[in-house]
Amino acid sequence: MSLAFDDYGRPYIILRDQGQKKRMKGLEAYKSNILAAKAVANTLSSSLGPKGMDKMLVSPDGDVSVTNDGATIVEKMEIQHPTAKLLVELSQSQDAEIGDGTTGVVVLAGKLLEQALTLLDKGIHPLKISDGFDRACDVAIKHLETISEEIDIQANEHEALIQAACTALGSKVVSKRKRELGKIAVTAVLDVADLARRDVNLDLIKIQTKTGGSVEDTRLISGILIDKDMSHPQMPKEVKEAKICLLTCPFEPPKPKTKHNINISSAEDYKKLYLQEQQYFVDMVKLVKDSGANIALCQWGFDDEANHLLLQNELPAVRWVSGTDVELIAMATGARIIPRFQEITPEKLGKAGSVKEVQFGTSNERMLVIENCQCTKAVTILIRGGSQMIVDEAKRSIHDAICVIRNLIKDNRIVYGGGSAELACAIQVLQYADEVSSVEQYAIRSFADALEGIPNCLADNCGLNPITSVAQAKSRQLQENNPRIGIDCMELGTTDMKEQRIYETLSSKKQQIQLATQVVKMILKIDDVIAPDDY
């Protein structure tokens, strides 16, 4: 780090521990930032598209996960470079907002930065670049809206939704079963969707995984599946017409939060206490039983004695139900969560058609299924697969598909995939560039080039010649004025994405372009990095 000296040759100390800090300024800082971010985007770029590859990630504890999901990859890479971390957040915010397209957004940001680097080399000021990108982004978004189409999600047994889900699943390891899984996801979302309000509460879809079997065995359970069994081995395994009592207090003598002491100083007291203790259990079970409940689910543990009393009173019970499950069950069955035994009343009970225990494989693992719930239709997707890595990846994939369907229910406008939307935008942005008379023109043109990078990357991953296929698609788009021409990734013989039925949601595409542009702008504004030396 360069130092300033006074007249006597002593350095001015401006930053604390100045000597131990590393500082990068100006062009050096820009380039270093851009290269770091590009390195991340490069890693992800081979995961893009239906023929994208997966990444194997080894966690600090040696656990392996294999995934194609952009957000998961960047999260598990444990990136430490500050600028590269911005891309991680970019991918995660796309995940949080839209749920899908997490790879695409990072790749697009990478392409934009690549363009920015050449512009910087040309000597264009970073702020000019970022302004140009901003204007180009607006044009692209507007154009996206004009080329978007509304689809009828109800038509033909929700065919459009299934197709959109298939597009989302197409790039994953489960792609072979995309149609089946897509259907499962669509059914699940429609079951819980509030179509009048165009809203979907994703909390009502529970995704439970269980290794064993194969991905084909994945199925939809119209109810809630919880990974628990009855508290006493001899309780009945099935309760029909269940009236569920949902407790968040343990079947144990009360434990006041305040510190207290009960001092026993005589035998009478001792006996009295014993009787009272016994009475606690009897009362608790009686209160539950009297309310008319025929099954009790409890977030906490049971005392042995209480457990037996429950059995004796023919009241099946489940202990240690997780907090999220309790809430889900409450929503689905209309049960009120009861924090104290005294507050149990019949109207607070939830109702469900049946509660039963099911068993898997040879290893005696059981789960409880709550079906035909009274209020909303909560559903569970039970994912099976040959190994933990596969079920985990399938879970992420189905989550993506569910998000896509939800977005379509919220906003039924779509654009076509296969890079066609990006190409169409690129063409539009290029036209606009010529109208701009200032330096930004170059940046706008570069933005178009970056957009073209997406179909380029897609074609590359599919083993096609990227330059020829993108050029062909582009010229056909212009000649036929058809914004649906993209890259034929699956080699189906047509480049019209409408025929291939590759649907992507407009909201996802819009979000991708906006987020990527924002992050790039942010990176371009950094001209000074001060960090500890060992960084």
Partner 1 sequence: MDIVGNVLPQVLKDEATEDKGEMARLQSFVGAIAVADLVKTTLGPKGMDKILKPTGPGQEMTHITVTNDGATILKSMYVENPAAKILIEISKTQDEEVGDGTTTVAVLAGELLREGEKLIQKRIHPQHVIAGWRIARDVALKTLRDISSENDIESQEFHNDLIKIARTTLSSKLITSDRDYFADLCVKAVLRLKGSSNLDYIQIIKLPGGTIRDSYLDDGFILKKQITIGCKRRIENAKILVANTAMDYDKIKIYGTKVKVNSMDKVAEIEAAEKEKMKHKVDKILKFQPTVFVNRQLIYNYPEQLLADSGITVIEHADFEGMERVAAATGAEILSTFDAPERRDQVLGHCDLIEEIMIGEEKMIKFTGCKKNEACTIVLRGSSIHILDEVDRSIHDVLCVLITTVKNRRVVWGGGNSEMQMAAACEEEAKKVQGKQALAIEAYARALRQIPTIICDNGGYDSAELIQNFKVELQKGNLTSGLNMNDGTVGDMKELGIKECMRVKEQAVMAASEAAELIMRVDDIVKCAPRKRERA
User: Is 61 a binder of partner 1 (CB under 8 A)?
Assistant: yes
Residue 11 structure tokens: 């350095």
**C-alpha 125 chain-centroid distance:** 37
User: Is 304 a binder of partner 1 (CB under 8 A)?
Assistant: yes
User: Is 123 a binder of partner 1 (CB under 8 A)?
Assistant: no
Q: Which of 387, 465, 475, 494 binds partner 1 (CB under 8 A)?
A: 387
Q: Among the candidate windows 99-107, 243-251, 330-338, 385-393, which touches partner 1 by CB under 8 A?
A: 385-393
Q: How far is the CB of 80 from partner 1 (least distance, A)?
A: 5
102 belongs to the catalytic site: yes
Active-site option among 400, 449, 460, 488: 400
Q: How far is the CB of 411 from partner 1 (least distance, A)?
A: 32
Q: Which of 95, 100, 114, 393 binds partner 1 (CB under 8 A)?
A: 393
Site string for partner 1, 308-337 (x = CB under 8 A): xx-xx-------------------------
Pairing of strands 337-338, 238-247: parallel
400 belongs to the catalytic site: yes
Q: How far is the CB of 69 from partner 1 (least distance, A)?
A: 13
Give the long-range contacts of residues 118-121, CB within 8 A, separation 24 or more.
Answer: 118/446, 119/442, 119/443, 119/446, 120/27, 120/30, 120/31, 120/34
Which class for 214: exposed (0-12), middle (13-18), buried (19 or more C-beta within 10 A)?
A: exposed
Q: Hey, which residues between 443 and 462 contact partner 1 (CB under 8 A)?
A: 462
Q: 182 and 166 in contact (C-beta within 8 Å)? A: yes
Helix (H, G, I), strand (E, B) or coil at 301: coil
Q: Which of 134, 138, 141, 213 binds partner 1 (CB under 8 A)?
A: 213
Q: Is the CB of 412 or the CB of 461 nearer to partner 1?
A: 461
User: Is 54 a binder of partner 1 (CB under 8 A)?
Assistant: yes
Q: Hey, which residues between 78 and 117 contact partner 1 (CB under 8 A)?
A: 78-81, 84
Q: How far is the CB of 256 from partner 1 (least distance, A)?
A: 7
- The Cα 255–Cα 207 span in angstroms is 35
Q: Is the CB of 307 or the CB of 446 nearer to partner 1?
A: 307
User: Is 300 a binder of partner 1 (CB under 8 A)?
Assistant: no
Q: Hey, which residues between 269 and 288 contact partner 1 (CB under 8 A)?
A: 270-271, 273-274, 276-278, 280-281
Q: Which of 66, 522, 526, 530 binds partner 1 (CB under 8 A)?
A: 66
Q: Among the candidate windows 154-162, 307-315, 371-379, 404-412, which touches partner 1 by CB under 8 A?
A: 307-315
User: Is 182 a binder of partner 1 (CB under 8 A)?
Assistant: no
Q: What is the dihedral of CA 26, 31, 37, 41, to 10 degrees?
A: 150
User: Is 359 a binder of partner 1 (CB under 8 A)?
Assistant: yes
Report how far apart the first and last C-alpha atoms of the chain are (Å, whole number).
14
User: Is 2 a binder of partner 1 (CB under 8 A)?
Assistant: no
Q: Which of 3, 64, 96, 471 binds partner 1 (CB under 8 A)?
A: 64
411 belongs to the catalytic site: no
Query: What are the φ/ψ torsions at residue 52 (nearest 5 degrees)?
Result: -70, 155
Q: Among the candidate windows 1-9, 268-276, 374-382, 403-411, which touches partner 1 by CB under 8 A?
A: 268-276
User: Is 493 a binder of partner 1 (CB under 8 A)?
Assistant: no
User: Is 362 a binder of partner 1 (CB under 8 A)?
Assistant: yes
Q: Hey, which residues between 5 and 34 contact partner 1 (CB under 8 A)?
A: 31-33
Q: Hey, which residues between 216 and 235 contact partner 1 (CB under 8 A)?
A: 216, 232-234
**C-alpha 343 chain-centroid distance:** 38
Q: Which of 26, 241, 386, 438 binds partner 1 (CB under 8 A)?
A: 386
- The Cα 62–Cα 76 span in angstroms is 12
167 belongs to the catalytic site: no
Number of residues that bind partner 1 (CB under 8 A): 88
Q: Among the candidate windows 125-133, 196-204, 389-397, 465-473, which touches partner 1 by CB under 8 A?
A: 389-397
User: Is 40 a binder of partner 1 (CB under 8 A)?
Assistant: yes
User: Is 361 a binder of partner 1 (CB under 8 A)?
Assistant: yes
- DSSP states of 20-53: GEEEEEHHHHHHHHHHHHHHHHHHHHTT-STTPP
Active-site option among 67, 83, 102, 517: 102
Q: Among the candidate windows 3-11, 134-142, 316-324, 381-389, which touches partner 1 by CB under 8 A?
A: 381-389
Amino acid 129 reads: I
- The Cα 498–Cα 424 span in angstroms is 14
Residues 6+ apart with CB under 8 A from 361: 212
Pairing of strands 219-221, 379-385: antiparallel
Q: Is the CB of 160 or the CB of 285 nearer to partner 1?
A: 285
Buried b or exposed e, range 81-108, using 16+ CB within 10 angstroms: bebbebbbebbbbbbeebbbbbbbbbbb
Q: Is the CB of 414 or the CB of 462 nearer to partner 1?
A: 462
- The Cα 34–Cα 249 span in angstroms is 54
User: Is 502 a binder of partner 1 (CB under 8 A)?
Assistant: no
- The Cα 504–Cα 502 span in angstroms is 7
Residues 6+ apart with CB under 8 A from 64: 56, 57, 58, 389
Residue 359: CB atoms within 10 A of its CB come to 12
Q: Which of 15, 56, 467, 531 binds partner 1 (CB under 8 A)?
A: 56
Active-site option among 67, 83, 103, 167: 103
Q: 43 and 62 in contact (C-beta within 8 Å)? A: no
- The Cα 393–Cα 327 span in angstroms is 26
CA distances from residue 447 to 18, 102, 430 in whole angstroms, order as listed = 39, 20, 8
Q: Which of 146, 266, 479, 481 binds partner 1 (CB under 8 A)?
A: 266
Enzyme catalytic residues: 69, 102-103, 400
